[in-house]
Structure 1
Amino acid sequence: MDVEQICRDAGASDVTIVENLATFTADDSPKFDAAILDLMLKGVSTLPFAAQLHRDGIPFVFASGHGMNDEITRDFPGVALVEKPYSGRDLVAALAASYEKLGDRTA
């Protein structure tokens, strides 16, 4: 099952799949309610984009076959890594938990 279908099955009405972050600039990137990021997209790290999401207070999780490393745990404390292969249930649960953590940070 692909991520888009997992999100739609969980009730997401608008799902954007991004295969190349180079197409985004800070001014024209879509506004996200949440994000699921692989650590690498076509050989390019998504960590700078994750940092932007983190600064903007947008909940996100990493979903990747790459394991957690020191840089990720240092720069993104509390952000979950759902390791491939994952179930849709695990992915949705991790994203829901990221919303709860965001609420704790803003309360």
Structure 2
Amino acid sequence: MAGLLDGLRILVLEDEFLIAMDVEQICRDEGAADVVIARNMTDAEATTSSSDFDAAILDLLLGSDSTLPFAATLRERGVPFVFASGYTDIKEITASFPGVRVVGKPYASDDILSALVNAREQVRA
């Protein structure tokens, strides 16, 4: 049986170790070929400069660093992404990134997967 993420390479930008590991397992359970975790902006930028990803899951804040500029770079490259965050004021996000889904923490695996699949479908359309 095929998984929703069969063969895909997924970037997970998350500074909380246990959440990052949980998201990695969710992606692997759905067939992701590779899941790369970046826990800070330096790692994220280094990873994306040397690799291509099929999709990304981004926490909004890594410590005190906003991931919105990084998300803009992904958008320019045509990489579909979703935000996963406990941040509750999403007005800035929806204004800057219309159509990009914000999945609130804590989230169910079905929520993050459906958001990621929808993001990929939007980019391909």
Distance of aligned partners of 1:76 and 1:27 in 2 relative to their CA distance in 1, 3 Å threshold: closer
Distance in 2 separating the partners of 1:3 and 1:96: 14
The question of whether the paired residues in 2 share the 8 Å contact of 1:62 and 1:82 is answered with yes
Q: Cα RMSD between the aligned structures?
A: 1.8
CA distance in 1, matches of 2:117, 2:25: 16
Structure with the largest fraction of strand: 2
Q: Which residue is equivalent to 1:65? A: 86
Please list, as runs of the form range in 1=range in 2, the aligned pairs for 1:36-55 lying within 5 A after superposition. 36-55=57-76
User: Per the alignment, in what secondary structure is the counterpart of residue 16 of structure 1?
Assistant: strand
Partner of 1:10: 30
Give the TM-score, by structure 2 length: 0.76
Report sequence identity in percent. 53
> Would the aligned equivalents of 1:64 and 1:81 in 2 still touch at CA under 8 Å?
yes
Cα deviation for residue 30 of structure 1 reads 2.6
2:33 and 2:47 map into 1 onto residues whose CA distance is 24
- In the other structure, the counterpart of 2:56 is 35
TM-score scaled by length of structure 1: 0.88
Distance in structure 1 (CA, Å) of the matches to 2:89 and 2:116: 17
The structural deviation recorded for 1:29 is 4.3
> Does the aligned pair in 2 maintain the 1:66–1:83 contact within 8 Å?
yes
Q: Distance in 2 between matches of 1:27 and 1:101?
A: 21
Aligned twin of 1:97: 118
For 1:33 and 1:71, how far apart are their aligned partners in 2? 25
Paired residue total = 104
- Counterpart of 1:52, as a letter, is T
